[in-house]
Amino acid sequence: MNDAQQATERAIAEWLTWEHPVPAQVWTEWTTHGVALLPLGKPFAAVRMPMDIVHAALGTEQSAQVASLLAQLLCGPVVYDRRVVGVTYYALIQWNADLVWAHDEVAPCLGQGIYLGVPRIDRRRPPGTYWVVAPKYAGNLCAPQSVASLIETGRQRLIQSAELSLSEAPAAP
C-alpha cells in the first residue's frame, strides 16, 4: 500500500471515530478484535438489510458479484455481519433528523442511541464482520434513495417468487 492509500485509509478511520465518546477505545477495539462498536446518528446511520432481500434484489448470492453490484448501485459503504439470526448487510447512510424511512418493518434505519459493529478499514474479507464495500473517502455514504430502491426491488422479487411458488403448487385433492 502506498503513502496516499495509507493516508486515505487513516482519514476514513478517523472520520468513522468522530462521534465516539472515547475515540482511543475504537482504535483499541479495531486492533484487538478487528471490529469496534460505533455510535450511530452522527455522522451516519445504518440500514439493516436482510440477506434474502439483498440477494433477491441483486439476483445473485455470489459474494464477489454481490460486492460489485452493491458498489455500483449504492456508491457507498456496506458492512457484512453474520449474526445469530443470519447474514445481515448494513448500508451506511447520511443521518438526517427528518428522514422518513418507509422500510422499517423489513430493513430498519438505525440511528441515535444505537451502536454498530464496524470493521477496521482493512477488513474486507471473511471471517467475521467485514466491509463488502469499504468507504472510498471520509464522508462517503450511500444515498438513502438508492438503499430504499434496492430494498423495494428485493421485496418485490421475493413476493413474486412466493406467488409463483404458490401458483405452481399442486392442488389439494
CB atoms near residue 133 (< 10 Å): 26
Whether 121 and 17 have beta carbons less than 8 Å apart is answered as: no
Q: Is the pLDDT assigned to residue 92 strictly greater than 60?
A: yes
Establish how many alpha carbons lie within 13 A of residue 63's alpha carbon, considering only the half-sphere containing its beta carbon: 11
pLDDT at 162: 86
3-state secondary structure 121-165: CCCCCCCCCEEEECCCCCCCCECHHHHHHHHHHHHHHHHHHHHHH
Residue 87: band (very low, low, confident or very high) from pLDDT cuts 50, 70, 90: confident
Whether 71 and 31 have beta carbons less than 8 Å apart is answered as: no
Question: Which among 125-129, 134-138, 164-168 has the top mean pLDDT?
Answer: 134-138
Residue the block writes with cell 438513502: 144
pLDDT at 99: 73
Burial class for 23, CB neighbours closer than 10 Å (0-12, 13-18, 19+)? middle
Q: How far apart (Å, rounded) are the C-alpha atoms in residues 161 and 134?
A: 31
Q: Which of 86, 78, 146, 150 is closest to 116 using CA atoms? A: 78
Question: Which residues of the chain form beta strands (DSSP E)?
Answer: 35-39, 44-50, 78-83, 86-94, 109-110, 115-119, 130-133
Mean pLDDT of the 64-76 span: 98
CB neighbour burial string for 35-69, b if at least 16 within 10 angstroms, e if fewer: bbebbbeeebbbbbbbbbbbbbbbeeeeeeebbeb
Mean pLDDT of the 59-70 span: 97
> Is pTM, for the whole model, over 0.85?
yes
**Which DSSP helix (H) or strand (E) runs through 41?**
none
